[in-house]
Amino acid sequence: MSNLWEFLSRDTAFFGGPQSPMLSWLGSFGIILFFVWQVIRLTGEVARARRPFDRVGPMLTALANDRGDLDRERFTTRALVGFTPQTYQTSSAAARIDCDDLQSVETAMQKEPMFRHPWMQFRKTLILEHTPWFIEPRIFSTRRAEDIFTQDMLLNHRVNLAFYSQLPSLVTGTGLLLTFLALFIGLSRLHADGSEIVGIQGLINGLAGKFLSSIVGLIAANLFTLIEKPMVFRLMNRHQTFLDLLDKLFPRKTMEQMLEQLTPVHGPQSRNRPVSGGEPHELHEGSRTESLALPIAELTSAVRSLTQWKQDEQAARQRMTDELPRVFREEFIAPMKELNDSIHDLTRLLKDAHAHRSQTTMTLDDLMSRLTDTLADQRASSSVARPEGRRFWSKRAMASAPRPTA
């Protein structure tokens, strides 16, 4: 332990620099290595966090620019009604569909793991505008993108911004700590030897080198601040640009705006409000209304016919469901009655046949008994009259003889 302490407190000069304790030199080298390591880490984390924004940003920018052109054409056309013909709108604007943009954005978001979960939450806030059938609906959001795609959700678990913001203070504190340790080593050599103080020359000779670690720490802290702040600023700028593009693609609609659209505005002021170029505007509106009247009437008639057909089909199906049990009962009553009667007749016939068979058996048994008795009497009388005459069968033999079938 004493050898280690002597090694750390020994004054040494490197690269022609001032003499400083070995502890200050080792601490300075450690601060430099720590500084380089943290710069490499910060650069890698910021680069990985910027890649999803770089991949999604061009697509969002293109869609947002197209959306801006469409909105400008729409508002300009509405403002110049009566002066500009309806064919002024470009084909690209007429073919613009918000649902297609939503599908493109969703496909891009699903490919990026960083945006996948926030996008699922943001998509739940989107609403589809209720418009007539001949107008393409717009998609709005009920919340701003910054409420869903927050910095905590996107960046904090990929870039440790809190640690990097405190790293300059950590490096400076480490350098100051090593400086105080070097001063502590120099002061520990001072001791009084009688009336003289021994060791003051070593403290004074290496005093300048003892501040080496503080100087290196301050330089590393300032350099890290100059590197970290612009990198984080560029990352925050990418994040804010991403939020602005999403808000531009899916503008926020408040509850007041939705209620205002649901409230019909019909009044004398709205009907009698003067419009620049009044007669051309009225002619344009009248021609547009007449051109849409026939398709709307045909569509209404087709919808009514389809609705009536569906109602008739449901009514017929309901009647069939109600009548089916009754029809089954009426159709099966007669066959079931005949079947029951046949079963009863068959049962009665079987009972009569069984009774007749029993009676026939009893009659045959009685007839055989009498016949046996008669034959026995005849044999007895014959044996008395003619003892050596012809022999008759015995009663047991005749009883065992087969009976004639009825």
CA dihedral (76, 78, 83, 88) in degrees, to 10, reads 60
Q: How confident is the model at residue 200 (pLDDT cuts 50, 70, 90)?
A: low
Portion of the chain with pLDDT greater than 90, in percent:
19
Average pLDDT over the chain, rounded to an integer? 76
Mean pLDDT in residue range 11-37: 79
Tell me the CA distances in angstroms from 112 to 72, 104, 167, 241, one per residue in order: 32, 13, 30, 17
Which residue carries 């068979």 as its tokens? 357
What are the structure tokens assigned to 401, written together? 């003889």
Q: How confident is the model at residue 80 (pLDDT cuts 50, 70, 90)?
A: very low
Q: Is pLDDT above 70 for 314?
A: yes
Rounded CA gap, 187 and 198, in Å?
A: 11
Greater confidence (375 vs 262) lies with 375
**How much is the average pLDDT of 235-261?**
81
> Which region holds residue 119: left if phi is over 0, alpha if psi is between -120 and 50, else beta?
alpha
3-state secondary structure of 12: strand
The lowest-confidence range among 23-32, 265-274, 299-308 is: 265-274
Residue whose tokens read 């007041």? 256
DSSP E strands in 162-275: the ranges are 191-193, 196-198
pTM here is 0.53
For the ranges 145-149, 330-334, 367-371, the lowest mean pLDDT is seen at 330-334
Q: Read off the pLDDT of residues 53-71 as tens digits, 9 standing for 90 and up.
A: 999 999 998 888 887 666 6
Whether the Cβ atoms of residue 254 and residue 65 lie closer than 8 Å to each other = no
Average pLDDT over residues 320-329: 82
pLDDT surpasses 80 at 190: no
What is the per-residue pLDDT for 83?
40
DSSP H or E run through 138: none
Q: For residue 387, what pLDDT is reported?
A: 53
- 197 strand-pairing partners: 192
CA angle 273, 275, 279 (to 5 degrees): 115
pLDDT in tens, 350-399: 998 888 888 888 989 888 988 988 888 888 888 766 555 444 445 455 45
